[in-house]
Structure 1
Amino acid sequence: MIIKESTRKLILIAVIIIIAIGLLVAKVMAKKQDEQFANNEALYSQVIQLYSQQQFAEAAPLAEELLKKQPNAEIVNYISGMIAAGNEEFVAAAVHLQKTLDINPYKVEDAIFMLQFAEVLVHAENYEAAQKVLEKCQQAEWAPEDYPTYQEHVQELLADIEEKQGGK
């Protein structure tokens, strides 16, 4: 089959136009994604700043907004859990920390996270789950350098659970 020169030119022009349109669409979509990322990053930074200043009440609505935008982000669920705990909303905190663990199962190897999770569970009066988490902390024999009394704290929480369960 012989293709005329004019047909070849039309095919080449069509291919060039399709590529140009594809590049233009990609650029527009990338710009929108960059704007979304910048907005989320600014919101995240604000949440972290408020959290680090222990302004939990002010951080909570911003964290909720961030959760709506990124419901499956490990760090967003973690910080939301810690903010809820700071606001003494321990059931909500436990839900967020459990979701953090669901998103990243390797958090069970994070000594500080596990202790925080156990403390939240104790305050949420979910003693059975807290006891399991604390027993994991005990069995792992963690002793973080920046928390030399880690195992003692685990023992105190276990004793506290035993006391509260015995009182029921």
Structure 2
Amino acid sequence: MIGLLTLGLSACGGDARINLDGQTIHVHADRVSIRDRGGDMAEIEANGALRIAGESVALTSAQRMLTTRYFTQAQVIVFDGKQTGWAGAHMAGSVVGSLFSALFHDDSRIINDTAHAQAARLDGQVDRLCGAIGAIRATQDQLVARLPAFAPYAAIDPRSVKSCFVNAHASNS
């Protein structure tokens, strides 16, 4: 459903991964880490502190605002990803429940009505998730413009954002 972007949420410790076309953003409660294609890592802490390849990077207040925003937006993506998963699970449960109701009442419209209502809810969650991905990409691009050393860690490209919206809505056509 989400194309090039998939959310892999680990069950232990609240850590999560945002997998994007070969690069992964690891989201922890206290930091976000991104490994570039060469293996070096950038880490952004909750307070906006940035380390690249293990070295602290001195930031201007504008850069720190962007790193803090990036951290927060990564947390939002994880939250929205979980909410989207719950909405999908709720949709499946509701449709199965409506199947039994439809059989009992001999009315197949119950299934259709339930499926459409739940799909609309799921669409809203997916749109919110895709919007959050677009927002973090904008922050990432601003950060790269103000701090070129972050460029190798720019994991979110325009295709990822566009693919999210296109594939989400194509699955409902």
- Provide TM-score, normalisation by structure 2: 0.29
The structure where helix makes up a greater share of residues is 1
Higher relative contact order, structure no. (Cα contacts within 8 Å, ≥ 6 residues apart): 2
Normalising by the residue count of structure 1, what TM-score does the alignment of the two structures yield?
0.29
Relative to its length, the structure with more strand (as a share) is 2
Larger radius of gyration: 1
